[in-house]
Amino acid sequence: MIRSFSGLLCALAAAPALHRFGAATVLLLASPVIALEGDPGIHDPSTIMVHQGKFYTYGTGAGLPILVSDDGWTWRRAGSLMEAVKGDRADVLKRGGNNTWAPDVIRSGDKYFVYYSAPATQPRSAIGLLVGTTLDPASPDYGWVDGGPVVWSDGVADNYAIDPGILRDPTSGSLWMTYGSYFGYIRLVQLDPASGKRLYPDREPVNIAINGEASIMIYRDGWYYLLLTRGSCCAGAASSYNIRMGRSRAVTGPFVDNMGIDMLQGGGKLFVGSGGRYIGAGHFGLLDLGDGVQKFSLHFEADLDRGGRSVLDIRPLLWQDGWPVAGENFAAGTYEIQSARTGTSLEMAVEGVPVGGPRARGPGGVGGPGGARAAGEPTPIPAQDAAQVGGKWLTGPVNARLSQYLVQAQQKWDVAAVANVGGYPGSPYFKITVAGTDRALAATAAAELVILPAFTGAPEQLWRIDQLADGTYRVMPKAVPGSDQSLALSAIGSSMPTLARFDPDGNRQHWLFRTP
Amino acid sequence: MKTYRTLLRALLLGAVASALPVAGISAQEAATRAPAPTLQPPASPTKAPDADGFIQRWLILDPIRRPGSLADSAVQAAVKTEYFPDQFTVLPRDGAKVTVRDSALVWHAVDTRRYNVNLYHFAYALSKPTSNVLFWAVTVVNAPRDIPNVRLAICSNAASVWWLNGEEVIGIYNDRQATIDDGVSKRLTLKQGPNIIRAAVINGGGATDFCARFIDERGNPVKDFTVSLNAGKR
């Protein structure tokens, strides 16, 4: 059977997909997302950390397994956290048990805090703390110090102390942990950013939600969002796991969903559930890549292409009407690539031919004065493809430009995933070719664009396509020849595409991929 | 009445002449056409670009008749045709004449009062054709120092091809209205001293005009230069 990825390439290349996002439009996906590459098997992944150019996440399992990636696309196992723990964790084991589940991790100052679940028999559990100064196991400074238990549940209190999720409040620098599961409440405590332990150990935790686990908060524009996972885990394709959310103006709640229902009474707006080849969505984590580009991590209980095993996934995080929205990773297909700024579309700069061939102008189009009006049913005009009109095209490199879209062959693009050239969080690199040909869009050393006669796989012909918060896409070459600049496809004037530094506040680098 | 009929005939002739600027214009009619409302002869040795960076001083040749398609290949063929000697290098004086297909055509120095040069006004005032024509335009941009990473940004009704210092940098094709920054070049360097911009604008029917400025990496106008109609070498 296929290694999930390469077989999917063939299937997906044949399936056109609609990518369209607007204030009143539901996100549609006609073909499944492409799975992460390598060995992304994990359960209950922590927030993904970016550390010295690598991506790390930690999960449930013996010793808290580590997954690492050089690019966010291809993942590999890299041992476990507990292999580098000093101390016997006696206090954690006293409060909880000798299991290690569902960690989360955060950087605070020059330290890293890992919080992990150490359950005994439900609902007795503790959440333990590990403190380190680097995430890189190869570093001489690598090692984790036992920070003892932070919170615990004793079987009497209305809580089951598992599934920590950490938020650093950007408005104040304060540190918070949410935790809990189906027994009792999801709870909130404040942490000390210096030590990682509870800042006010004598205060009662705040109850903020019921009917969920794997909770975590994020913040944006004056709102605190509580995301948690509802439904059942751990049953493969029978897992009903789905991620739900509410929001509050205060970090301590109340968290209310879009229907006005408090999460303490079971409220929760759906963020993401099952779809395509993935069943059982759980354990949200925010991955903020800067410049307004955000992704989220999660696991799916069952990746059907990997025999129903639990896997990590990374997807775009969008925002609409004050709520986070789960985006989809880019799917291969044939597209019109339209500038969201200018309303003109990418084309190879060759003379266009009207679809169906030239015809005289007249009122009502074909059949106007001077044209013969055909009797009977009108005959459909077939779509224009490169085979019909490409004979007149230059054989060498051709410029790119933006023009009003007329459904012509030089304006339609095949976007196909490329194997074995790496990727970025959530996706592989893509090639972008004039539909039906091998003519490939490429970056030039002058940071402009060219369409080369044939795709060779060189880095300047590989494209990274990230969905932005508003649903449009940023398109970036893997490399600009002879430069280390990170540039994005950009519209300057209404007919000129170029490459320029990504500006998060403008829309020059916002693109729509439309059904052609 | 005779005076009434004479007046009526004059009015009718005037109305017909206004509607058909191409055909049958009498010498008297030509001599009495009002000057182009948006253009005036240059009144100073140099001119700064306007507040938005648009270049307002140009030498423009009387239009050359050029019926035909506005598509890419047809426009390229039209502008690469040599109509008169040195047409890709000449920096003419105001009033200089060239002969194109047995017609004497004149170069006119103009300042536009607007951001764009209205070629319809230009040609109409001279009693020249405005449809199915090709206009050549030239100007000189004087930069105080090398200015790298700028782009020439133009508009035209309709198609046009542009050169900077002899290198073709923009071509926009098909019938189109003038929209600022419609055609934009790749990144260029304005060199210290004179830089020659040359354009060929081709119109089908109706209105015809063009505009040009330089923009920087962020799309903002570059204004640190002056415009003249000589390269300072005479």
Tens digit of each residue's pLDDT (9 = 90 or more) over A256-293: 999 999 999 999 999 999 999 999 999 999 999 999 99
Between A and B, how many residue pairs show a Cβ–Cβ distance under 8 A?
41
**A20, pLDDT greater than 80:** no
**Peptide linkage before B158 cis (omega within 30 of 0):** yes
Domains assigned to chain B:
39-228 (2.60.120)
Residues of B in contact with A492 (CB under 8 A): 151, 153, 181, 184, 215, 219
**A158, pLDDT greater than 90:** yes
**B137, pLDDT greater than 70:** yes
Chosen from B168, B182, B211, B222 to mutate, greatest number of chain A CBs within 10 A:
B182
d(CA B87, CA B100): 11
Residues of B in contact with A341 (CB under 8 A): none
Query: Which homologous superfamily does the CATH classification assign to the domain defined by A35-326?
Result: Glycosyl hydrolase domain; family 43 (2.115.10.20)
Q: Do B183 and A495 touch (CB under 8 A)?
A: yes
Q: Residue A495: which of B71, B184, B217 has the nearest Cβ?
A: B184
Using the Cβ of B182 and the Cβ atoms of chain A, whether some distance falls under 8 Å is answered with yes
The shortest C-alpha distance from A343 to chain B (Å) reads 12
- Please state whether A84 falls in left (phi above 0), alpha (psi between -120 and 50) or beta: alpha
Residues of A in contact with B182 (CB under 8 A): 493-495
Residue of B nearest to A349 (CA): B72
Token pair for A52: 């010295």
Q: Do B187 and A492 touch (CB under 8 A)?
A: no
Token pair for A372: 């013969």
pLDDT tens, B199-232? 999 999 999 999 999 999 989 999 999 999 987 5
Using the Cβ of B167 and the Cβ atoms of chain A, whether some distance falls under 8 Å is answered with no
Q: Do A492 and B181 touch (CB under 8 A)?
A: yes
Token pair for B154: 């133009």
What does the domain layout of chain A look like in residue ranges? Answer: 1-32+329-353+384-516, 35-326
The shortest C-alpha distance from B184 to chain A (Å) reads 6
For residue A293, give Cα distances in angstroms to A166, A316, A339, A340, B99: 21, 8, 18, 17, 61
Q: Residue B153: which of A349, A352, A493 has the nearest Cβ?
A: A493
Q: Do B215 and A498 touch (CB under 8 A)?
A: no
The shortest C-alpha distance from B99 to chain A (Å) reads 32
- The residues, ordered by sequence, that sit 6+ positions from A18 with a Cβ below 8 Å of its Cβ are A28, A29, A30, A514, A515
Q: Are B223 and B153 in contact (CB under 8 A)?
A: no
Q: CA end-to-end span of chain A, whole Å?
A: 32
Q: Residue A351: which of B72, B181, B217 has the nearest Cβ?
A: B72
The residues that bridge with B59 in the sheet, in sequence order, are: B109, B138
Chosen from A485, A492, A505 to mutate, greatest number of chain B CBs within 10 A:
A492
Residues of A with CB under 8 A from a CB of B: 349-352, 446-448, 492-496, 498, 500, 508
State chain A's mean pLDDT as an integer: 91
Instruction: Provide long-range contacts, Cβ within 8 A and 24+ apart, for A436-444.
Output: A436/A385, A436/A386, A436/A387, A436/A390, A436/A409, A436/A412, A437/A386, A437/A390, A439/A348, A439/A398, A441/A346, A441/A400, A441/A413, A442/A477, A443/A477, A443/A479, A443/A480, A443/A481, A443/A487, A443/A499, A444/A480, A444/A481
The shortest C-alpha distance from B115 to chain A (Å) reads 16
Token pair for A146: 């036992």
Q: Do B181 and A494 touch (CB under 8 A)?
A: yes
User: What pLDDT score does A24 carry?
Assistant: 32
Q: Do B71 and A350 touch (CB under 8 A)?
A: no
Using the Cβ of B172 and the Cβ atoms of chain A, whether some distance falls under 8 Å is answered with yes
> Span A133-159, mean pLDDT?
96
The shortest C-alpha distance from A271 to chain B (Å) reads 37
Residues of A in contact with B186 (CB under 8 A): 446, 448, 498
Q: Are A460 and A481 in contact (CB under 8 A)?
A: yes
> Span A229-235, mean pLDDT?
96
**A464, pLDDT greater than 90:** yes
pLDDT band at A198 (very low <50, low <70, confident <90, very high): very high
| pLDDT over 70 percentage in chain A | 91
The shortest C-alpha distance from A480 to chain B (Å) reads 15
For residue B46, give Cα distances in angstroms to B55, B140, B229: 11, 10, 8
Q: Any idea what DSSP says for residue A121?
A: S
Indicate the SS3 state at residue A491.
strand
Q: Do A496 and B179 touch (CB under 8 A)?
A: no
Residues of A in contact with B179 (CB under 8 A): 494
pLDDT tens, B60-80? 999 999 999 999 999 999 999
pTM for this entry: 0.88
3-state helix, strand, coil in chain A (%, to 5): 10, 40, 50
Q: Which of A430, A425, A437 is nearest to A459 (CA)?
A: A430
Q: Are A279 and A302 in contact (CB under 8 A)?
A: yes
User: What pLDDT score does A360 carry?
Assistant: 72
Q: Classify A1-32+329-353+384-516 by CATH class.
A: mainly beta
pLDDT band at B33 (very low <50, low <70, confident <90, very high): confident
pLDDT band at A356 (very low <50, low <70, confident <90, very high): very high
Token pair for A68: 């690492």
The shortest C-alpha distance from A508 to chain B (Å) reads 10
Q: Which of A423, A468, A459 is nearest to A9 (CA)?
A: A423
Residues of B in contact with A352 (CB under 8 A): 71
| pLDDT over 90 percentage in chain B | 82
pLDDT band at B233 (very low <50, low <70, confident <90, very high): very low
Residues of A in contact with B173 (CB under 8 A): 351
Residue of B nearest to A450 (CA): B186
Q: Do A492 and B72 touch (CB under 8 A)?
A: no
d(CA A403, CA A345): 5
Q: Do A446 and B187 touch (CB under 8 A)?
A: yes
Q: Do B215 and A351 touch (CB under 8 A)?
A: no
Residues of A in contact with B183 (CB under 8 A): 493, 495-496
User: What pLDDT score does B234 carry?
Assistant: 34
d(CA A337, CA A513): 5
User: What pLDDT score does A34 carry?
Assistant: 67
The shortest C-alpha distance from B210 to chain A (Å) reads 15
The shortest C-alpha distance from A417 to chain B (Å) reads 29
Burial A437-460 (b: 16+ CB within 10 A, else e): bebbbbbbeebbbbbbeebeebeb
Residues of B in contact with A351 (CB under 8 A): 71-73, 173
Radius of gyration of the CA atoms of chain B, in A: 19
**A371, pLDDT greater than 60:** no
Angle at A95 between CA A91 and CA A97, to 5 degrees: 95
